[in-house]
Structure 1
Amino acid sequence: MSTSVRAVTAVALLIGFYLLAIGIIVGLLALDIALYQASGQLRAGLIKLWALSAAIGYPVVRVVFLTRRRKDDGELPGVLLTREQQPAVWAMVDRISERTGVRGPAEIRLVPEVNAGVLEETRLLGLIPGKRHLVIGAPLLIGLTEGELESVLAHEFGHYSNRDVRLAAVTVAGRRALLRTVGGLHQRADRHQAEEAAKLAAKAEKRLAKGRKPSGEEAGGGVDRVLAGLFTLYAKLYFRVSEAVGRRQEYAADQVAAQLAGRDATASALRRMPALAAAQDFYLSRYATIGWDAGLLPPPGQVYGGLLHLLSDPKRREELAEHALDLPEQEPDPYDSHPPIDRRVAAIEALPDDGRGPGAAGPALALLHDAQRVLAELEVVTLVPEAAGKQRVEWPELVRAALLTRAREAAAPAYRALTGLGLAPTVHGLLDAVDAGRAWEFTDRLPKSDQAAAATGRAAREFARPVLREELGHAAVVALAGAGLAGWELSWSGPAELHLPDGFEDAFDAALNAACNDTADTAPLRALLAGAGLPAPAAPAV
């Protein structure tokens, strides 16, 4: 079946979706009329049947025909890139538009996702063209070369240069309508089930109060759940047809990208996209938001722009290169609009060598004028409102402060245990507990495993000893870091590295062991802390 035929079939199925809903309603009305005519008079049983028909028909009318997707009255998300401010970006887009013979976008916007796309404001189920918007993900500018970015954008224009995609907007609209319908029916079913469960629970309490057993009846989703199941079956058929159209369109658009930007640049971009998406997720979770709980963010423009630091690190570059070369083999998903990336790459690399190589090797970010300012603007329009209240600090300070906050939070249970013993919640307070023979009292107040909780005598101490050692070492690090005598150093190659005072680490293990022995000796650790510059607390006045 050709892509055009599949697209027309998808449109027919979309029409069939609405006809299915109309058929349910008309069928119910016809049944109600037939029953009335057969009865010849209005009876109580007939009214109950009409009520049942209304209970079935109402959710269909409500969800299918009356629920509409909310239209966003505001602008599209992202930062607008004007021709005057970003001539290099527009020059590339205009060149691609001219070479593909495709009408270019009216505006270009920068977004934070690892994605690019051309959105069009079409009418009449996508048959009447409208204003086009091009969105470019900031990570693409940061992580791709100019040649690779050109192939990505050419792919998007390729969707419009192929006549087979004329009905693409219709298939997307149908997909949204079906998902909205099925989701709406399931939401109604969930609410009905929750209400029914509450009623059954109340009944069960009354029966128990009277000394009777609960009925054991379980709440269900009612007719809404049944209708959701029916429309789900239809949706699966629609998706199998419409997503097959989408997969063929992706292959066709890849061919356009290869013709325009070159085989090697297109294959390279396809290989790097999954690795870039993984790098973006890793960067945002491990670096950009590391200080969120501490009320900190990187400098303006670095929440997204800091990805460049990660991608520039030699070790990370090697990891990403391996990720791009070793694409996992995947089976096509009949409900996915995109073919597996390894198959798309194989199709492009199977093309004859066009002699163009990887294309322009310069970083795509160079196309963006005043990139730091634009990336800072992107943060303003895309980050959650809470971000405005965060303090912006440089990367080294961000990592040190964020990890110190985490270390203090991890030490909180130990500090609460010390406070409960009437001791200072500090490393010196814990050393005082050891000297006073109360170390095992301290560990007994900490969370423990079932096995440790059941142990007694010598066995209990053997379970508690590594816990004491860990908490003592952690408290020492927190004290040193809080005093500015130790801290964590940013590393783009791996986790932040803890740096202790000179010579401290060499004697640290032995001092901890001495403090945790049966015949505990805290003097070595006290001396080590004092030698590092951490003063002991003043003795209380007598």
Structure 2
Amino acid sequence: MTNNLPPISSTYRSKLISAVISVSLFFVIYLILILISLLMIFLLGYGAIRLVALYANYFTAIIALGLISIGFIVFYFLIKFIFKKNTYTTRHLIEIDRKSQPELFGIIDEIIRETKVSTPGKVFLSPEVNASVSYSSPFWSMFLPVKKNLTIGIGLVNSLTVGELKTVLAHEFGHFSQRSMKIGGYVNQAEKIIFDTVYNNKDFENSIKHGSGHWAFQITGVISVGFINVFQYILKMFSDFLFKNNASLRREMEFHADAVATYVTNPKEQASSLLRLELSNAAFNNAFMFYADSNNQYLPENLFENQTLLMKVFSERNNHLFEHGLPKVDLEDITRYNKTNVKIEDQWSYHPETDKRIEMIRKNETKNIAENNNLAKNIIRGYSEVCKILTSKYLTLYNIKSTGKIIDDNDLFLQLYNEKYPYRLIS
């Protein structure tokens, strides 16, 4: 780990301490509840054995089985999140390697050398206007050295220069440039436990209560749910405290990742990439919504060409100048575009406001490396084909059937788009 990277701020340190205290307290309480559930298994099991030993008949055997079940049900309730299937899918991604995309990996290698983080286990291209670094196994990442995966959205690449793309990727790697960021993973797991046990437990409770028609097991289910509700109440008492501290910590994590990115790149490209993000998002989402709202009448051949076209249209409507082939968005413009109902998943929520981030970026220390104003899409080999493949994958992800007329002409798309969503100038 290099000592040249920006150190964490005093505010970050204080938020980190608060998060460590809150998550430590949560896991202590959680461990106590697990021990209580194990004690229940022992005591209820002992009572069941004694009951059958004293009065061995069908009735006592059913009661004994019910008593043992209560302890195991409560214990499973506390640990069932471990066995929950990860719903995240990679079917909308394309895995790439150094051989297929050497120029992109060259940028990744530069960032790795600067930040001294480990090489990603896998690198994916996604359709989204986003980039992220994530653990392939979130739970075991708390205890084992698990490789991180890097996902780069082509919707993002489509609206950046090479220099801007490097700042975005440097930000993502900046999240892992300090060991102290490991606490974010623990807090995230604590939140998952709370969500699964407190807020996402109705199906489990109903299956326990009504899973069997036998009266004895129904009574067992009711008693088990009673214990579960008590445990839920205890866990919920700590959730608000944990969530509040985690939100504060994540905001500081974003500022710190920005500081790392500023240091190894430059503030101008970092700010311009952030400022164009809402416009890029709006263009991509509006293009996608056109097809989603067409009731399978139309399909895109290349959704990213449509995104580029709408970026140009929105820029003309809002008098944005073009610089290096991309719209130049000013700070006062950023609130205009985020009006779509389509939500892009962002595994680093609680982001600070863009204006606050830019204010801090301009104060950060930087090596101020030379700008690279070439379009980022030009470094992706086979870019057009990649865009078409990801377009198809994105439609499949949202269960849009391949039955409509394929729109492969930008002029036709713009005509149909304006017919469906006529623009009215507001005076």
Tell me whether the two structures share a fold, i.e. TM-score over 0.5: yes
Structural mapping, 1:23-422, within 5 Å: 23=36, 26=39, 57=71, 59-67=73-81, 68-71=83-86, 77-121=92-136, 125-189=141-205, 223=226, 227-286=231-290, 288-294=291-297, 296-299=298-301, 302-313=302-313, 314-315=315-316, 318=319, 324-326=331-333, 337-342=349-354, 344-351=356-363, 356=368, 359-384=371-396, 386-395=400-409
Scaled by the length of structure 2, what TM-score is found? 0.70
Deviation at 1:99, TM superposition (A): 1.4
**Partner secondary structure for residue 383 of structure 1:** helix
Equivalent residues of 1:154, 1:260 under 8 A apart:
yes
Equivalent residues of 1:145, 1:364 under 8 A apart:
yes
When structure 1 is superposed on structure 2, of 54-63 and 307-316 the one drifting more is: 54-63
Q: Distance in 2 between matches of 1:73 and 1:494?
A: 33
5+ long unaligned stretches in structure 1: 196-220, 329-335, 400-487, 498-542
Equivalent residues of 2:126, 2:153 under 8 A apart:
yes
Equivalent residues of 1:271, 1:345 under 8 A apart:
no
- Aligned amino acid, residue 64 of structure 1: L
Greater Rg over alpha carbons, structure: 1
What per-residue deviation string (whole Å, max 9, x for no partner) do you get for residues 227-253 of structure 1? 544433333333233443323222211
What per-residue deviation string (whole Å, max 9, x for no partner) do you get for residues 201-222 of structure 1? xxxxxxxxxxxxxxxxxxxx96
| Compared CA separation, residues 171 and 327, structure 1 to 2 (3 A) | same
Q: Distance in 2 between matches of 1:396 and 1:114?
A: 20
| Compared CA separation, residues 49 and 343, structure 1 to 2 (3 A) | farther
**Partner secondary structure for residue 401 of structure 2:** helix
Q: Distance in 2 between matches of 1:73 and 1:354?
A: 36
Residue in structure 1 matched with residue 7 of structure 2 by the alignment = none
Q: Distance in 2 between matches of 1:19 and 1:278?
A: 48
Deviation at 1:398, TM superposition (A): 6.4
When structure 1 is superposed on structure 2, of 186-195 and 256-265 the one drifting more is: 186-195
Q: Distance in 2 between matches of 1:23 and 1:184?
A: 22
Equivalent residues of 1:78, 1:111 under 8 A apart:
yes
- Aligned amino acid, residue 134 of structure 2: L
Total equivalences in the alignment: 373
Equivalent residues of 2:205, 2:225 under 8 A apart:
yes
Deviation at 1:351, TM superposition (A): 0.4
Deviation at 1:81, TM superposition (A): 2.3
Q: Which has the higher contact order (CA 8 A, sep 6+)?
A: 2
Identity %: 20
Residue in structure 2 matched with residue 520 of structure 1 by the alignment = none
Q: Distance in 2 between matches of 1:378 and 1:155?
A: 24
Deviation at 1:289, TM superposition (A): 3.2
Deviation at 1:192, TM superposition (A): 8.0
What per-residue deviation string (whole Å, max 9, x for no partner) do you get for residues 352-408 of structure 1? 686949932332222212211001121343432653444423347965xxxxxxxxx
| Compared CA separation, residues 237 and 28, structure 1 to 2 (3 A) | farther
- Aligned amino acid, residue 104 of structure 2: V
Deviation at 1:496, TM superposition (A): 5.1
Deviation at 1:142, TM superposition (A): 1.2
Aligned to 2:35, which of 2, 22, 25?
A: 22
Equivalent residues of 1:291, 1:398 under 8 A apart:
no
Scaled by the length of structure 1, what TM-score is found? 0.57
Deviation at 1:56, TM superposition (A): 6.5
Q: Distance in 2 between matches of 1:192 and 1:256?
A: 50
Equivalent residues of 1:305, 1:372 under 8 A apart:
no
Equivalent residues of 1:63, 1:184 under 8 A apart:
no
Q: Distance in 2 between matches of 1:394 and 1:136?
A: 25
| Compared CA separation, residues 346 and 86, structure 1 to 2 (3 A) | closer
5+ long unaligned stretches in structure 2: 1-12, 212-223, 321-326, 336-347
Equivalent residues of 2:175, 2:253 under 8 A apart:
yes
Q: Supply the RMSD in Å over aligned alpha carbons.
A: 4.5
Q: Distance in 1 between matches of 2:392 and 2:417?
A: 27
Deviation at 1:121, TM superposition (A): 4.1
